[in-house]
Structure 1
Amino acid sequence: MATHKETAKEIVLKIGGRENVDQVWHCVTRLRFNLQDKNKVKLDEIKQIDGVMGAQFSGDQFQVIIGNKVAEVFEEVEPLVGVGGSSNSKNREKQGGISRILDTISGIFTPILPALVGAGLLKGFVALFITFGWFSSKSDTYAVLNAIGDGVFYFLPFFLAVSAARKFKTNEYLALAIAGTLLYPTFVDATRGITDISNFTLFGLSFVSIPVVNYASSVLPIILSVLLLKYVYKFIRSWMPSSITVMFSPLLALLIVVPLTLWLIGPLGTNIGNGLSQVFAWLFEHAGPVAGLLMAGLMPLIVMTGMHYTFAPISIQNMSLYGFDNVLAPTMFISNLAQAGAAFGVALRTKNKELRQLGISSGISAVIGITEPAMYGVNMKLKRPFYYAMISSGLLGAFAGWYGFKAFTMGGLVGIFSIPTFADPSGEAGNLIVALVMLALAIILPIILILIFGFEDIATEDQTSGVGKVEKGLAEAASTITSMEGESKTADVFSPLTGKIVPLKDVSDATFAQEIMGKGIAIQPADNRVVSPVPGIIMVLPDSQHAVGIKGDDGQEILIHIGIDTVSLRGKHFKALVKEGDRVISGQPLIEFDRDAIQAEGLDSVTMIIVTNTADYLDVLPVNEKGQIFEEEQLLSIVK
């Protein structure tokens, strides 16, 4: 048996060495690597390393399955590759241009969404209150609430500076210094006409004419300037003597980047942003029905590819220039609700009880603005409902483009709760009425199309088989246990949560599906907590809190893993109720989690219950292989 140090050395060697590692961390059972060159990985040889249970690529991430000893192996891997891995990425496999742009925009905007969503929704409610006449736009209350809501958007360059600096891996505080200059009162006053300055010169150089530009709520100028900062600051530090680099590297970086930003990059970014906004404004003004038809009708495909992120800067730029967005929010509003309507239509027409329940639950989720369950779980699976949703949203999008349907602020999830964002701050009710009409029609039209034209329904198990898998599973389990009576005995593992049983082979993660970690069963949770399936001791509880390992009093080692790849959430949406070393009894709550929030992040919340020391037993048998199960019902039988 190899030591953990030997295992770690072999793994690092066969993934291409220290220089091929950008980042490494671990979850409950796996080492996770971000690598520069995937082609250097010797996958088959890694699987043969003593102490490694399996290895696989998951997206851009390479995973080495270790099992319960992953923390010990990680402790040996970390010093071999350096903390966080190497930061040198010059040999990294190149992404396509579009893929890189999408990744960059997504990576910059995603962290600041809570601020944008909260502030935007507040602005929407303020506009709604004015429309209803609940307070005046001249009142002190309006002034305070508007400042809270508008402050994020006015000072958006500050938020983008931090987020872009983290994405580009450069100094956040230097990035903030650039943003501070862009919004410094000297330049702001000039844009407002408070001073009569039309441009600034620098160092007496006549050709360096810095134009007066309003950078409030701007997007591209600060992102481009932080990208420049990354290379300038890195270059300066590469030759600056270490004894003075702390003082003079930031000084020179600011003296180079900020003037270039004010002179060239800022105006260029502003003109690009304004140009894109004007193009879309022209399209919706002169070809509104066509633009609305294409945007709303194709929005599900745009969302699937992630390209909707590229419209976020345009949406913000439109609000800055014109005071509204008629491109992204209105068309997503219509599209999301059409997906909800299609799911509801499936629920009304199907004869499959499980599909009906899924249609209702995913439809409700889509009405709120979370479309993935409806789109992937129901509509795309059945094909026709997906087409009906696209047709319906396309038709309504054409009307919206003709009418000039607008959103006046951002509002987070684009669904029923984003209605206030369509309230005109002037108090006019027309746009808000159209939003309510769009809400109703986007849901009703797909339902009508489904009821008229139908779809190919999914037959229930009773229609396709005379004997259900549940009864078969029970019979096989009973037969096996009975045949071993007198020679061995069994231990029970009880269900740690309420939900729907999923055979392990149907889980999307190959590590669990192929029983690399051990035998067990999976459950699609119906509530938001996990309880202990046996009395025992908590042996493993990572900081991410997405999994827990228990050593039962009968010696069984049980891993409860909540969701697929949920380690990436780093503890978000999870709350541990116990700690390592605690003694627990059967049925004691262990972890609380938010399954809806997990699914909203695009992750599967299916929960695996694995007996990781399966090799110590004759067999591990699920009592049932399908159907509903409740907390503390018998789930597994372990044959000793």
Structure 2
Amino acid sequence: MASHKETAQQVVEKIGGAKNVNQAWHCVTRLRFNLNDKDKVEIEEIKKINGVMGAQFSGDQFQVIIGNHVSDVFAEVEPLVGGAVSGDGEKSGQKQSVVSLVMDFISGIFTPILPALAGAGLLKGFLALFTTVGWLTTESDTYMVLNAIGDSVFYFLPFSLAVSTARKMRTNEYLALIVAGTLMYPSLIEAFNAIEGGGPDTLDFLGLGIINIPLLNYDTSVIPVILSVILLKYVYDLVKKVMPSAIQLMFAPMIAFLIVLPLSLWLIGPLGTNIGNFVSDIFNWLFEFSGLFAGLLLAGFMPLIIMTGMHYAFAPIAITSLATLGYDNMVMPMMLISNAAQAGAALGVAVISKNRQMKQLGLSSGISAAIGITEPAMYGVNMKLKKPFVLALVSAGILGAIAGWYGLKAYTMSGIIGIFALPVFADPAGESVSLIVSIVLFALAIVLPFILVLIFRFKDIEEDTTASTQPKEEVAKAKETTTEATGKEIMVQSPLKGTIVPLAEVSDQTFSQEIMGKGIAIEPEEDRVVAPIAGTIMVFPESQHAIGLKGDHGEEILIHIGIDTVSLKGEHFNGLIKEGDRVEVGQPLVEFDREAIRQKEIETVTMIVVTNTAEYLDVLPINADGPIFEGEHLLSLVK
């Protein structure tokens, strides 16, 4: 598997380079790009990059599916594309459709605040759970403190949205915060609350009786602050354009405020509130009219919606529903069931697949999907095998129909919908039925596709032991060369489990420049090294960090665990052999503590080098990168 840095470099190169990136950001599993020229994208080549699960255009937004390590890869993308991340890139010259623009805009606003929504929502869910089982009372001081922590993100949501919208619009974030602060100003909220006591429901701005500002409560609101910040961006830019630069610092913000904020309170805020309520009412009506049918469609087709990246468009609907009704019976219940169904199908693959890599991926991605991150299971397992994906859709549709018919509700927001989000289905009133139903449906959503996969099975992928970045013809040609030269092939097996790293990428030049000889490196995933060949231990220093073997066919192999590990003087290593010992293939040689070594900021990448390379026509790695298991064919020595 390639390093995150290498993956990032290849992705940026294949999308046309940094100059082609207008804007870049990421969500839970994907890199997302707005590009200046989408014709420069080498999409098929990007799909072949190690660490990439898939790539696609959603409208005019380009998405690269990475999976659980997306934030690590994006951290390497960010310095490569520079200003495009913060919004200083050039404007795209390509015209986007209205739908593409809206979807792109919404996802760009909501993805940065997902961690806050996920953390706070989960805390509120646990609070509801604790009150349901009687561990806390709503009158206790502990509840008051924890509720303030969990509720603050939602109550002050306009501030978070103001910042993320400003970043998306490439305008000053601190000016945007003033917009949110005005909408949320305490005296305006107090005036709104006083309406029930007979107070006025409007404010007469300027005292002319013309501009009557409706009093509304904008806490937890979504659309009003977004529309207001958009207006702020254009007004502020226009003011700066016509104003002398010498007085811009003070007067440009003031004039922008005087234009934008009264308009926001008078027109934009009420308009945004009405739009949000209207859209939410439509979906609520659909579920009230036929929850069974709506649940069937939304849960069944949710993976297809996720594939396009359009699921973020549901975030404002869920938030508005929570603010106005106190619950969400659409988005989160259906995503919970859909995500669990993808998990169940992937786990079914893990049980019956005979492909070792697919079994491992099915297990890991199934667990990930159960937590709420489905792309690894969808792209890496279920869609690749086709039938498990279809069975997951069918299962989700059936159970989504049941959830819609019952009226399953989430009572707070959660950024990632999976097993740890179950507490958000606990009714704050203390009723336990909703929570129990959500747990039962979640479990069924895993079990049903799991059983269906076991029953209907699928066409398994044959294990490819010669997979590499080299074309298969080249591998075959290399083997032909071996046969022509000697009539046999000397094989070196992998001494440990991990991910392959090309020797040229190792930071120690002694190895990367092949001074010691040709070979390969592996980043270990387990804490032991076994014999890759049958032979004799020729070198085993007191530091125990390296082993030199001489094989029965004359091959000389050096296994060097880590870089500069000699400085540890044997600490964290446990040798199981000594010089002169005879060893067989697969026999354990050394045990070591990876984490302890890494905590000392020492690399654990392990080099396997043929030190008598000069005696061979060539030393060929079977796999140039990707996962490798202990005992797999690692190197071929051409005599």
Alignment of 1:261-300 (within 5 A): 261-300=264-303
Is contact 2:87–2:168 with CA below 8 Å preserved after alignment?
no
Residue number in structure 2 paired with 1:223:
226
**Percent identity, aligned pairs only?**
56
Distance 2:18 2:117 in 1: 41
Residue number in structure 2 paired with 1:536:
508
Cα distance, 1:633–1:447 mapped onto 2, change above 3 Å: closer
Distance 1:61 1:422 in 2: 34
Please state how far the C-alpha of 1:357 moved relative to its aligned partner. Answer: 3.3
Residue number in structure 2 paired with 1:107:
108
Distance 1:559 1:172 in 2: 46
Alignment match of 1:385 (pick from 388, 391, 410): 388
The answer to whether the aligner puts 1:447 opposite 2:446 as a matched pair is: no
Residue number in structure 1 paired with 2:374:
371
What are structure 2's unaligned runs of at least 5 residues? 1-15, 25-32, 43-54, 64-79, 466-471, 525-558, 565-592, 596-604, 610-615
Cα distance, 1:477–1:129 mapped onto 2, change above 3 Å: farther
Residue number in structure 1 paired with 2:343:
340
Cα distance, 1:630–1:424 mapped onto 2, change above 3 Å: same
Secondary structure of 2:210's match? strand
Distance 1:176 1:88 in 2: 23
Is contact 1:496–1:533 with CA below 8 Å preserved after alignment?
no
Cα distance, 1:395–1:209 mapped onto 2, change above 3 Å: same
Please state how far the C-alpha of 1:447 moved relative to its aligned partner. Answer: 2.5
Residue number in structure 2 paired with 1:180:
181
Is contact 1:343–1:379 with CA below 8 Å preserved after alignment?
yes
Distance 2:142 2:229 in 1: 37
**Structure 2: which amino acid aligns with 1:127?**
A
Distance 1:94 1:497 in 2: 52
Distance 2:95 2:309 in 1: 19
**Structure 1: which amino acid aligns with 2:36?**
Q
Secondary structure of 2:246's match? coil
Please state how far the C-alpha of 1:550 moved relative to its aligned partner. Answer: 5.1
Please state how far the C-alpha of 1:353 moved relative to its aligned partner. Answer: 4.3
Cα distance, 1:639–1:534 mapped onto 2, change above 3 Å: farther
Please state how far the C-alpha of 1:200 moved relative to its aligned partner. Answer: 0.8
Distance 1:285 1:82 in 2: 47
Cα distance, 1:308–1:110 mapped onto 2, change above 3 Å: same
Alignment match of 1:404 (pick from 404, 407, 413): 407
Cα distance, 1:58–1:297 mapped onto 2, change above 3 Å: closer
Return the TM-score normalized by structure 1: 0.67
Residue number in structure 2 paired with 1:303:
306
Alignment match of 1:430 (pick from 433, 436, 445): 433
Return the TM-score normalized by structure 2: 0.67
Residue number in structure 1 paired with 2:169:
168
Residue number in structure 2 paired with 1:328:
331
Deviations 1:225-268 (A, max 9, x none): 11111111111101101111111100101001101100111110
Distance 2:289 2:493 in 1: 64
Deviations 1:378-427 (A, max 9, x none): 22122222111111111111111111101111223211111111111111
Secondary structure of 1:378's match? helix
Secondary structure of 2:219's match? coil
**Structure 2: which amino acid aligns with 1:439?**
F
The answer to whether the aligner puts 1:588 opposite 2:562 as a matched pair is: yes
Aligned positions, number: 504
Distance 1:206 1:264 in 2: 15
Distance 2:476 2:41 in 1: 42
Residue number in structure 1 paired with 2:36:
36
Is contact 2:502–2:521 with CA below 8 Å preserved after alignment?
no
Please state how far the C-alpha of 1:477 moved relative to its aligned partner. Answer: 7.9
Is contact 2:86–2:167 with CA below 8 Å preserved after alignment?
no
Distance 1:352 1:313 in 2: 42
The answer to whether the aligner puts 1:201 opposite 2:240 as a matched pair is: no
Distance 1:355 1:633 in 2: 16
Distance 1:497 1:233 in 2: 60
Distance 1:158 1:496 in 2: 54
**Structure 2: which amino acid aligns with 1:386?**
F
Cα distance, 1:557–1:288 mapped onto 2, change above 3 Å: same
Residue number in structure 2 paired with 1:232:
235
Deviations 1:564-606 (A, max 9, x none): xxxxxxxxxxxxxxxxxxxxx943269x999xxxxxxxxxxxx
What are structure 1's unaligned runs of at least 5 residues? 1-14, 25-32, 44-56, 63-76, 463-467, 484-491, 502-519, 523-531, 539-548, 563-584, 595-606, 612-616
Cα distance, 1:622–1:459 mapped onto 2, change above 3 Å: closer
Q: CA RMSD in A?
A: 4.9
Distance 2:41 2:119 in 1: 47
Residue number in structure 2 paired with 1:513:
none
Secondary structure of 1:376's match? helix
Residue number in structure 1 paired with 2:545:
none
**Structure 2: which amino acid aligns with 1:128?**
L
Cα distance, 1:411–1:202 mapped onto 2, change above 3 Å: same
Secondary structure of 1:205's match? coil
Residue number in structure 2 paired with 1:358:
361
Residue number in structure 2 paired with 1:458:
461
Is contact 1:470–1:626 with CA below 8 Å preserved after alignment?
no
Residue number in structure 1 paired with 2:158:
157
Deviations 1:135-172 (A, max 9, x none): 10111111110000000100000001111101100011
Cα distance, 1:637–1:272 mapped onto 2, change above 3 Å: same
The answer to whether the aligner puts 1:255 opposite 2:258 as a matched pair is: yes
